Structure 1
Amino acid sequence: MKKLLILATGGTIASVSTNAGLVPNISGKDLVKSVPLINEMCEFDFLQLMNIDSTNMRPRDWMRMRACIVEKYDDYDAFVILHGTDTMAYTAAALSYLIQNSQKPIVLTGSQQPMANPFTDAKLNLYHSVLYAIDDFSCGVVVVFGNEVIAGTRAHKQRTLSFNAFTSMNFPALAHIRGNKIIRSYAGMGTGNSELCTMPTKPHDALVKPDSPKLQTYDRLNERVIVLKLTPELNPSIFYLLKRDYDAIVLETFGIGGIPDHDGEYEKAIDDWIASGRSIVVTTQVPEEGLDLGVYQVGHTYAQKRGVLSGDDMSTEALVAKTMWVLGQTNDQDEISKLFYRVVFHDRVPGQRPA
């Protein structure tokens, strides 16, 4: 029987009603008791890392999770993290970069309703998370939520109330869960360290994981990263103001990659930002289908500009986490580019790097 470590961090799944609203207050051990079926599936140990609303989740908390998983990695077959939904996608992305090539699954889950709610989704999400975690073909950092398994680098909270709160951005869900069956998306395993989770091509193929790259862990992040969303008449002087507090900007442009060029001030501000040794990642504020700076004149200027990193089809959450990870490893511009364009567990479609 496999042995799992449950890491509890709080969130809606652990919340109780108070006069001030929902407040996390239930331990991970008590949450598991609410789903007695899973006690027959595997053995559990519990660690209450924190008990907070995920709105208060910060990079230092990601590092606590990372340190715990790395320390306990050899002692358990899988890890399940109980987490609030609001920042779950950021945490999943961050752990995807901090713990790479993991053959053991690291599953994040939570709920839209507290465990004590009579119509909660918490019980099914927790059951599915354990079901996925103990499966021999599961690996890497994933979000299990609303009957879907989403790569940690592709998760995005799309809905605030519905039980299918998360979507897999610009990439197939890795699997769907129907009852007690895991239905894997074979096509979804085709890029980004896919050898870690390769499924048999025929029903009678040996159910053995192939060899994979060695586990890689990292213990540094640069938190000085901000997301800046373009709006009409946003003054480009903001780039100069952000210099004091930030080393990188994830710039959400218009459409497929438009940056205003009516007076040249944006290009001047961006050039100054890059010349100061800081990084800029260009993406789109449109949720689906990604960026292509070469389509319109208003983006073409930046398509080949040295120092501009293209977010392509990545989610904003993954871009924030990846930029923090990259800048935590190096300050060299060439090395930054090399690390940024490296495919990590499905985070981008290969071959999209600008020529």
Structure 2
Amino acid sequence: MEHSSVHHPEMPHIPSTLTLASRTPTVGSARKSETRHILVIYVGGTLGMKPNSENSLAPVAGYLTTEMRRMRELNPPSDDFAQQGSSSSSNSFSSAALSNEMRVPTFDVIEYAQLLDSSDMDQQDWLVIARDIERYYYLYDGFLIAHGTDTMHYTATALSFLLHNLAKPVILTGAMVPLMEPYNDARRNLVVGMMFAASTEICEVCIFCNDVLLRGNRSVKVRHTLSAFSSPNYPALSVMEAQPFRPRRHLLARPPTGPLAIHSDMSGRVMTVLCHPDFDAESVKTMIQGTSKEAESRLDCVVLELMGVGNTTSTMARTLQSVVNTASRVGCLVAITTQDLYGSLTAASVSRLKKSCPDAIFVGDMTTEAAAVKAMYLFGKKLTAAEVKEWMPRNIRGEVTTVASRL
């Protein structure tokens, strides 16, 4: 991902990003201590798109920033800003009657010079976003990432692992209908996402879409509608209702005990396989073995998404055993997830799986996307295969229902 750069007098020279606009007060200026200040990072996606010469939607540099400058709810008059918290204010944009969680924060905007369709993004792009958050971390109270919806859950999951000891909200949002359309979901997702990015209670990576705040690494895209995302095995962290909304504190990640750090380069080589009733196990084994004798050319982990296990003598069990044995011989791990959105394998099924494939790693109710990204993260920490095998089923960022650890 390529970026332009600009020097801001109040912050170190940042070679990877372009600061385009801010709502006063800007970085380094005086502002009330209770006013939250966030950074909005636009990496691409439908939210900031407009029709191009071929009448197809495409990201337009500077458009989102310009529109955010014009949005009345994001830029109340200066007297409104000065009166925030004053009980005598009657202006409709004063926040006197609202909790801190309901206030629109002050903000700066960064747009990447190369705006991407999220379907074109990969591990290196996740790292760019994580490192930009790390660079700006102590200048802002929270971060909003405006992102395409196709792989937003992958980016959210990757950031949840990469941002070790995250103590501030990182909210991803996007839109199915762009901001330039008269009827759209972009406007509310943007405004409310910014409110959550200013929260004093959230210290994790979340997705906000269509009135619902979800844990990022528990989310999956399930529809091509305004309600695009779901969190099948973990409750929503907040839901917009008629009354003032707040995060559900008992569901949030606990605050960390150390400084923010990035410990992985996401270099794990991972493949996901959907195991339909007659999937080609021989082709999967060939890919696992690789085309070269060099270990660097082989996969580190294969995530198999199963319909079920069956009994220990079934065709599926024997096929699975053959794949796992092949992987074990070449040092490749095999992680097992289920195709069911809700719930997980029964205890009896897990017992049969362990009996027929003792080297396979069952990762509980973790999503397939989270399992794949987690394997990339763990191998990117330069852990051994044995160490990754130990950590894969354990909960390190709230991605699976087990006893929590931190790594």
The answer for the alignment partner of 1:38 in structure 2 is 74
| RMSD over aligned Cα atoms | 2.6
Residue number among 65, 69, 72 corresponding to 2:136 in the alignment: 72
* Distance in 1 separating the partners of 2:136 and 2:247: 28
User: In 1, are the aligned partners of 2:312 and 2:355 still within 8 Å (CA)?
Assistant: no
TM-score of the aligned structures, taking structure 2 as reference length? 0.75
How far the C-alpha of 1:82 sits from its partner, in A, is 0.3
How far the C-alpha of 1:56 sits from its partner, in A, is 0.8
Give the greater-gyration-radius structure (CA): 2
Moved more, 143-152 or 84-93: 143-152
Shift of the 145–265 alpha-carbon distance from structure 1 to 2, 3 Å rule, reads closer
The answer for the alignment partner of 1:8 in structure 2 is 42
User: In 1, are the aligned partners of 2:396 and 2:404 still within 8 Å (CA)?
Assistant: no
Does residue 287 of the first structure (1) align with residue 341 of the second (2)?
yes
How far the C-alpha of 1:302 sits from its partner, in A, is 4.6
Residue number among 241, 244, 259 corresponding to 1:178 in the alignment: 241
Moved more, 12-21 or 86-95: 12-21
| Post-superposition CA distance 1:285-344 (Å, at most 9, x none) | 1111123474278635356x13x2212101112111111001111342331123323323
Q: Which runs of 5+ in 1 are unaligned?
A: 197-210
Shift of the 14–143 alpha-carbon distance from structure 1 to 2, 3 Å rule, reads same
How far the C-alpha of 1:95 sits from its partner, in A, is 0.3
TM-score of the aligned structures, taking structure 1 as reference length? 0.85
Q: Which runs of 5+ in 2 are unaligned?
A: 1-34, 77-103, 291-297
The answer for the alignment partner of 2:265 in structure 1 is 220
| Post-superposition CA distance 1:249-271 (Å, at most 9, x none) | 11001137789842834312311
* Distance in 1 separating the partners of 2:239 and 2:373: 25
Partner secondary structure for residue 228 of structure 1: strand
How far the C-alpha of 1:351 sits from its partner, in A, is 4.8
How far the C-alpha of 1:274 sits from its partner, in A, is 1.7
Does residue 262 of the first structure (1) align with residue 315 of the second (2)?
yes
* Distance in 2 separating the partners of 1:302 and 1:225: 23
Higher strand proportion: 1
User: In 2, are the aligned partners of 1:292 and 1:312 still within 8 Å (CA)?
Assistant: no
Percent identity for Structure 1 against Structure 2: 25
User: In 2, are the aligned partners of 1:97 and 1:322 still within 8 Å (CA)?
Assistant: yes
Equivalent residue runs for 1:1-355 within 5 Å: 1-18=35-52, 19=54, 21-27=56-62, 28-33=64-69, 35-40=71-76, 41-49=104-112, 50-161=114-225, 163-178=226-241, 181-189=244-252, 194-196=253-255, 212-243=257-288, 244=290, 246-255=299-308, 261-262=314-315, 264-292=318-346, 294-295=348-349, 299-302=353-356, 305-306=358-359, 308-351=360-403
Partner secondary structure for residue 330 of structure 1: coil
Q: Which runs of 4+ in 1 moved over 6 A?
A: 256-260
* Distance in 1 separating the partners of 2:207 and 2:302: 26
User: In 2, are the aligned partners of 1:12 and 1:24 still within 8 Å (CA)?
Assistant: yes
Shift of the 76–241 alpha-carbon distance from structure 1 to 2, 3 Å rule, reads same
